[in-house]
Amino acid sequence: AAKATKTSPKASAGAPPSATPPGADAPSTAAEPKPVVRYNPLRPAAVQAAAAGVPITASAPAASAKTKPVRYAVVKPPGGGLQYEERRAGDEGGRAVKAGQEVEVKFFVRTNLAGGKEKVMERGEVRIRVGDGEVLDGWVDGNVDMEEVLGSWSRSLIGMRRGELRRIHIPPGKGFRERGGDDLGEQSSLFFDAEIQKLL
């Protein structure tokens, strides 16, 4: 009579036999992480990829676009006044500066140097009467006499509102005569940047 074969109680019905021999570690199923090559702008991409044996995953940073300088329209007032640029608008609906009115002004006097660069020659914050050269109050930081030119320059403030910034072009012959020093002679071309801070 044939002998009956015994089945192991630990073996589950229908389960395939294990391919791993007893005592051996089971093979790992997790994939090993691949090295990532970082972009180095000082090292060519081909050399970097060949050294690591993997393709480069990061691309070179895009070059930033150059911003063009803002160009403002030059206003030519009727009657032959000084030309100017509206650099910043003032309060909408606010009062406009009139001739003879007292105002507080923050200003810079600039001149052009070689290569198109500008240099601040005078600055200050003053209270003046539009059309009059006298400085009523405030401070001036520089070596020139602003009262020599404010009488004519301040007429270009007419129509401005609080917070408005205007660049006034001062052509040769309309600037300083005696008290501008060697740097700001009578034939100097200047910019008078004026901001209305308060109307009195």
What per-residue string of b and e applies to 57-84 under the rule 16 or more CB within 10 Å gives b?
eeeeeeeeeeeeeeeeeeeeeeeeebeb
Residues 6+ apart with CB under 8 A from 155: 81, 82, 99, 130, 131
What pLDDT is attached to residue 12?
47
* More reliable by pLDDT, 5 or 122: 122
CA–CA dist 152, 103 (Å, integer): 15
Tens of pLDDT, residue by residue over 45-75, are 555 555 656 554 545 555 556 677 788 999 9
Please count the helices (runs of H) and the strands (runs of E) in the chain: 2, 7
What pLDDT is attached to residue 189?
86
How many CB atoms are closer than 10 A to CB 194? 24
Helix (H) or strand (E) holding 50: helix 45-52
In the predicted model, what is the mean pLDDT of the chain? 78
